[in-house]
Amino acid sequence: MPLLVMKFGGTSVADLARIENAAKKVQKEVERGYDVIVIVSAMSGKTNELVGWVETTSKLYDAREYDAVVASGENVTAGLMALRLQEMGVPARSWQGWQVPINTTSAHGSARFLSIPRENLDAKFAEGFKVAVVAGFQGVSAEGRITTLGRGGSDTTAVAFAAAFGAERCDIYTDVDGVYTTDPRIVSKARKLDKIAFEEMLELASLGAKVLQTRSVELAMRYKVRLRVLSSFEDTDENSGTLVCDEEEIMESKVVSGIAFSRDEAKITLFTIEDRPGVAQAIFGPLADAGVNVDMIVQNISEKNYGSHPGAVTDMTFSVPVNQVPRAQKAMEDARAAGLIAYDDLVVDTEVAKVSVVGIGMRSQVGVAARMFKALANEGINIKVIATSEIKISVLIDRKYMELAVQALHDAFELDKV
Ligand code: ADP
Ligand code: ASP
Ligand code: MG
Is 379 a domain residue? yes
pLDDT band at residue 87 under the 50/70/90 scheme: very high
Q: In terms of domains, do 148 and 271 share one?
A: no
pTM for the model stands at 0.93
What sign does the dihedral 284-290-215-144 (CA atoms) show? positive
pLDDT for the residue numbered 305 = 57
Q: How far apart are CA 389 and CA 323, in angstroms?
A: 25
| Residue of 203, 231, 230 lying closest to 217 (CA atoms) | 203
Confidence at residue 250, expressed as pLDDT on a 0 to 100 scale: 87
253 in a domain, yes or no? no
310 pLDDT exceeds 90? no
Residue at a domain's end among 125, 143, 175: 175
Please report, for residues 157, 342, 393, the alpha-carbon distance to residue 174 in angstroms, rounded to integers and kept in the order given: 15, 49, 28
Task: Indicate if the pLDDT at residue 307 is higher than 70.
Answer: no
Max CA distance (Å), the chain = 81
Look at residue 312 in the predicted model and tell me its pLDDT. Answer: 83
Work out the number of other CB atoms within 10 angstroms of the CB of residue 248.
Answer: 7
On whether the CB atoms of residues 47 and 70 are closer than 8 A, the answer is yes
Angle at 355 between CA 376 and CA 247, to 5 degrees: 110
Instruction: Tell how far the Cα of 152 is from the centroid of ligand 3, in angstroms.
Output: 4
DSSP three-state, residue 380: coil
Q: For residue 209, report the distance from its CA to the centre of ligand 1, in Å.
A: 7
CA of 185 to the centre of ligand 1 (A): 9
Residue 408 domain flag? yes
Q: Which domain holds residue 300?
A: 259-412
Q: Is residue 363 part of a domain?
A: yes
Mean pLDDT across 238-258? 90
225 within domain boundaries:
no
Q: Is the CB of 152 under 6 A from ligand 2?
A: yes
pLDDT > 70: what percent of the chain?
Answer: 98
- Given a cut of 80, whether residue 325 has pLDDT beyond it is yes
Q: What is the number of domains present in the chain?
A: 2
What's the average model confidence in pLDDT over 210-231? 97
Q: 408 and 269 in one domain?
A: yes
Percent with pLDDT over 90 in the chain:
90
**How many angstroms from the chain centroid is the CA of residue 172?**
14
201 found inside a domain? no
Question: Is 24 in the same domain as 153?
Answer: yes
Is residue 244 included in any domain, yes or no?
A: no
Query: Which tops the pLDDT comparison, 150 or 275?
Result: 150
CA distance 76 to 10: 12
Q: Is residue 95 scored above 60 in pLDDT?
A: yes
User: What pLDDT, in 10s, does the model give residues 136-163?
Assistant: 999 999 999 999 999 999 999 999 999 9
Q: Indicate the pLDDT class of residue 332, thresholds 50, 70 and 90.
A: very high
CA pair distance 333, 344, nearest whole angstrom: 11
Tell whether 280 and 381 lie within a shared domain: yes
- Which ligand places an atom closest to the C-alpha of 70? 2
Range of weakest confidence among 7-21, 300-314, 346-360, 381-395? 300-314
Is there a single domain that holds both residue 279 and residue 140? Answer: no
Pocket lining: 153 vs ligand 2, CB cutoff 6 Å: yes
Peptide bond just before 277 cis, omega within 30 deg: no
> What mean pLDDT is predicted for residues 59-65?
91
Q: Is 374 part of any domain? A: yes
Nearest-CA neighbor of 317 among 334, 335, 339, 295? 295
What percent of the residues of the chain are helix, what percent strand, and what percent coil, each to the nearest 5? 40, 25, 35
Instruction: Kindly report the number of other CB atoms within 10 A of residue 64's CB atom.
Output: 15
Looking at residue 264, what DSSP letter applies? E
The Å distance, Cα 190 to ligand 1 centre, comes to: 13
Contact status, residue 258 vs residue 217, Cβ threshold 8 Å? no
State whether 278 and 141 are in the same domain.
no
So what's the pLDDT on residue 275?
86
| Per-residue pLDDT at 303 | 65
Among 122, 155, 175, where does a domain finish? 175
- What CATH number corresponds to the domain at position 270? 3.30.2130.10
Query: In terms of domains, do 24 and 126 share one?
Result: yes
Residue count of the chain: 418
Whether 158 and 306 map to the same domain: the answer is no
Among candidate residues 178, 128, 196, 152, the one with its CA nearest the CA of residue 39: 152
**Mutational test site, ligand 2, from 154, 214, 216, max ligand atoms within 8 Å of CB:** 154
The stretch 392-407 carries a mean pLDDT of 98
Nearest alpha carbon to residue 4 among 235, 228, 239: 228
Cβ partners under 8 Å of residue 283, min gap 6: 270, 273, 316, 332, 335, 341
Residue finishing a domain among 175, 196, 216: 175
